[in-house]
Amino acid sequence: MKRLLYILAICAIALSGCAKKSSRIDELKEKYDKFVALTFDDGPSTLTPRILDILEKYDATATFFVIGGQVDATTEPTIRRAVELGCEIGSHSFAHPYMSKLSKQEQLEQSEQTIAAIEQYAPTPKYFRPPYMDADEVTHSVVPQIFIGGYCPSDWDANVGVEERIKGLLGNVEDGLIFILHDFKDNNGTAEALEVVIPALQKQGYGLVSVGELFEIKKLLTSIQPSVTSSITAKSFIKIESGLNPE
């Protein structure tokens, strides 16, 4: 009897979680008729909490593609807060190398070490973005996540000012787009741009969501599991052309 009650309790908790997620999606669809996903590469860093403050302020979410080597006890609070706010944590490799220049074993280590680091503080990552958008067939064979690309307004370049970043985002937005941004240390121009871009897009009817939320809303990749094969992963490498490859 105790075992039965325990199982029922677990089921209730699971169903509650699903209902909460579905409720969030339903609320978004009632409020907005267009959606874009915000993603951030190269964190977590001292800038990430500021990004989270902005997201929380505007009730937006995002997917953070983190560098595994930067995921530790010092950044644990930031990662846990991101998850609590409904954001996702994805993989961006362990040391930010050009993946295609590594051996198969080295690529595997980049993937596995990052997954292990993330799992200390967040759910197992479902998505991967290769540094510099550099990947080969070996990368697709050893990385178990779905590969995610997107449009980048070159916000990694210190020579690209805040106004240019704003124009790059607002001028290229379209329903279903994935934006690639960067939350590495001192990239304050991106935070400043977001303070303008997020409310402007929301006024235009855009909901700012994570990759997973975007896929759920658009009913994409619903049949693909995190442990996809290399052939399926390759087909799922969503990349929208931008002038320069993001870092």
Mean pLDDT for each consecutive 10-residue tract of the chain (247 residues)? 40 46 87 97 98 98 98 98 98 98 98 98 98 96 96 97 98 96 98 98 98 93 39 34 42
| Residue showing tokens 């994805």 | 90
Given the residues 26, 41, 92, 134, the one annotated as active site: 41
Close Cβ partners of 137 (under 8 Å, ≥ 6 residues apart): 230, 234
Is residue 140 annotated as part of the catalytic site, yes or no? no
What is the SS3 assignment for 178?
strand
Residue 207 near residue 31, CB atoms below 8 Å: yes
Is residue 182 annotated as part of the catalytic site, yes or no? yes
DSSP 57-91: HTT---EEEE-GGG-STTTHHHHHHHHHTT-EEEE
Half-sphere exposure of 120 (CA within 13 A, CB side): 18
Rounded-to-integer distance, Cα 124 and Cα 119, Å: 5
First to last CA, the chain: 56
Q: If you ran DSSP here, which 8-state letter would residue 196 be given? A: H
pLDDT of residue 153: 96
pLDDT of residue 168: 97
Its pTM stands at 0.84
Close Cβ partners of 179 (under 8 Å, ≥ 6 residues apart): 36, 37, 38, 39, 150, 151, 152, 153, 169
Helix 48-57 and helix 76-84, axial crossing angle in degrees, nearest 10:
20
pLDDT of residue 182: 98
pLDDT of residue 247: 59
pLDDT of residue 183: 98
pLDDT of residue 129: 97
Nearest to 186, CA basis, from 42, 39, 37: 42
The enclosing H or E element of 8 equals helix 2-31
Given the residues 92, 96, 140, 182, the one annotated as active site: 182
